[in-house]
């Protein structure tokens, strides 16, 4: 090994020490060339190497381990942690810059429309309503459609078909299925019924509503002096029973129904990059249509109808339909209904699945039929017609609502029902 001997006044002499402890004179080293010395002048004080050496001299690295205990020193641990934090902060900053750059590129090169409806408003009488005159374009990656709202706050087409002034006025009441969620208005039930001009259709359906709100909307329209000639109820049995007990007074923020606010909401509303990634996910990861909220699992279980919430929902469901029928009869308005099944029910019927004591896919349809019959409302159930095409062809992926083809099936069945002779109430208009 090599050691250093000498005094402060002497020149340091390197001496070689062997393992036995004897010192041996070092080998003579070749003298440095005077030309080499002149060719390598000392680095100036301001050069990076000199600065680095100065800093190292003033702030030497702490010893990695305590010489007494052998453990890693506190200063060393602190230095290592500081370096780790600095690395994390650097990576985080780089990530934020990358996201900001990507956001800017998407905004300039491929701006993305929203994937939600920003057309709602609070209402003094109803739980909520559409903004009169609103127009909105939606693109979820799986569906692309637009919404236009007239001055009365009802969904219409971009260019409503002409209808004779004397054509009967049909008030369409329902939830998002009657509203036409996921399709253009011309492809929806209301748009298809109005296509030939024989009916003037006022689509008063709203996403998230149930029979209690259908009754409230009918009362509101009559109070406003808009008295229809006919009423068509679109009963979606997949959640209309639950809607009778769920709180429908949903807050509206930024035109969005149920917007919770906060950072996540802001990102969804503001980021075009988020919209693009969301669309890509919806476009490539298409799930089977099914029971998204778990309501159908309750509806098809016979024992669930004697338990909350269905034990409370069924009387409210029946009561709302009875009140609609009574109000319409008092005004001389003819009421009909179309029953739209859940996709799980359509799939079960298409497969020919037999009911069991614990599972009956058509049970909610029968409960709905019993309530409509008790209210004296003629109806048609389109389960069999949709089952011929199957659930995948009838319900949109992710969105879960009816496809354009399924809407044509429902509108055709509704048109045939409306064409049938039925009771004409002689009440006051």
In a domain, 265, yes or no: no
Of the CA atoms within 13 Å of residue 173, those in its CB half-sphere come to: 27
Distance, CA of 186 to CA of 192 (rounded, Å): 6
Question: How confident is the model over 136-140, as a mean pLDDT?
Answer: 87
The tokens for 305 are 């109808």
> How many Å separate Cα 3 from the centre of its chain?
73
Domain hosting residue 219, numbered range: 144-249+288-419
In a domain, 166, yes or no: yes
Beta bridge partner(s), residue 200: 169
Give pLDDT tens digits for 169-199.
Answer: 999 999 999 999 999 999 999 999 999 999 9
Q: Which residue has the higher pLDDT, 64 or 211?
A: 211
In a domain, 1, yes or no: no
pTM (two decimals) = 0.74
pLDDT of 110: 78
At residue 64 the predicted structure's pLDDT band, cuts being 50, 70 and 90, is low
Distance, CA of 145 to CA of 305 (rounded, Å): 37
Is residue 2 over pLDDT 50?
no
Which of the residue ranges 54-63, 85-94, 252-261, 403-412 would you say has the lowest mean pLDDT?
Answer: 54-63
Q: Which residue has the higher pLDDT, 182 or 50?
A: 182
| Number of structural domains the chain divides into | 1
CATH number at residue 156: 3.40.50.1110
In a domain, 172, yes or no: yes
Question: How confident is the model over 133-149, as a mean pLDDT?
Answer: 90
Distance, CA of 283 to CA of 144 (rounded, Å): 11
Give pLDDT tens digits for 311-367.
Answer: 999 999 999 999 999 999 999 999 999 999 999 999 999 999 999 999 999 999 999
């Amino acid at each position: 090994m090599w050691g250093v001997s000498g005094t402060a006044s002497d020149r340091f002499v390197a001496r070689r020490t062997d393992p036995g402890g004897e010192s041996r004179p070092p080998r003579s080293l070749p003298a440095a060339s005077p030309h080499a010395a002149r060719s390598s002048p000392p680095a100036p004080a301001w050069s990076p190497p000199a600065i680095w050496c100065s800093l190292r001299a003033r702030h030497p690295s702490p010893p990695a381990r305590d010489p007494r205990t052998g453990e890693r020193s506190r200063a060393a641990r602190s230095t290592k942690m500081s370096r780790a934090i600095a690395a994390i902060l650097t990576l985080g900053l780089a990530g934020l810059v990358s996201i900001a750059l990507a956001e800017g590129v998407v905004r300039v090169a491929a701006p993305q429309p929203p994937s939600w409806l920003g057309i709602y408003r609070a209402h003094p009488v109803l739980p909520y309503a559409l903004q009169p005159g609103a127009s909105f374009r939606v693109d979820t990656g799986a569906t692309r459609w637009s919404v236009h709202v007239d001055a009365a706050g009802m969904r219409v087409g971009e260019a409503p078909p002409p209808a004779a002034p004397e054509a009967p006025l049909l008030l369409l009441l329902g939830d998002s299925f009657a509203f036409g969620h996921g399709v253009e208005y011309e492809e929806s039930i209301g748009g298809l019924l109005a296509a030939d001009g024989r009916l003037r259709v006022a689509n008063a359906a709203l996403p998230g509503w149930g029979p209690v709100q259908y009754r409230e909307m009918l009362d509101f329209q009559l109070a406003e002096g808009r008295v229809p000639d006919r009423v068509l109820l679109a009963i979606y049995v997949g959640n209309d029973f639950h809607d009778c007990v769920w709180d429908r007074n949903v807050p509206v923020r930024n035109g969005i129904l149920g917007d919770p606010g906060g950072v996540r909401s802001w990102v969804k509303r503001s980021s075009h990059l988020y919209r693009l990634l969301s669309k890509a996910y919806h476009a490539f990861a298409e799930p089977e249509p099914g029971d998204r909220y778990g309501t159908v699992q309750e509806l098809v279980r016979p024992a669930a109808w004697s338990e909350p919430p269905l034990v409370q929902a069924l009387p409210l469901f029946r009561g709302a339909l009875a009140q609609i029928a009574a109000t319409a009869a008092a005004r001389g308005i003819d009421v009909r209904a179309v029953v739209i099944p859940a996709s799980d029910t359509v799939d079960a019927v298409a497969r020919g699945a037999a009911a069991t004591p614990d599972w009956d896919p058509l049970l909610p349809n029968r409960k709905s039929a019993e309530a409509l019959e008790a209210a004296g409302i003629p109806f048609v159930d389109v389960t069999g017609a949709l089952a011929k095409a199957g659930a995948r062809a009838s319900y949109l992926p992710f969105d879960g609502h009816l496809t354009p083809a399924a809407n044509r099936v429902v509108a055709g069945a509704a048109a045939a029902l409306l064409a049938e002779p039925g009771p004409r109430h002689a009440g006051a208009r």
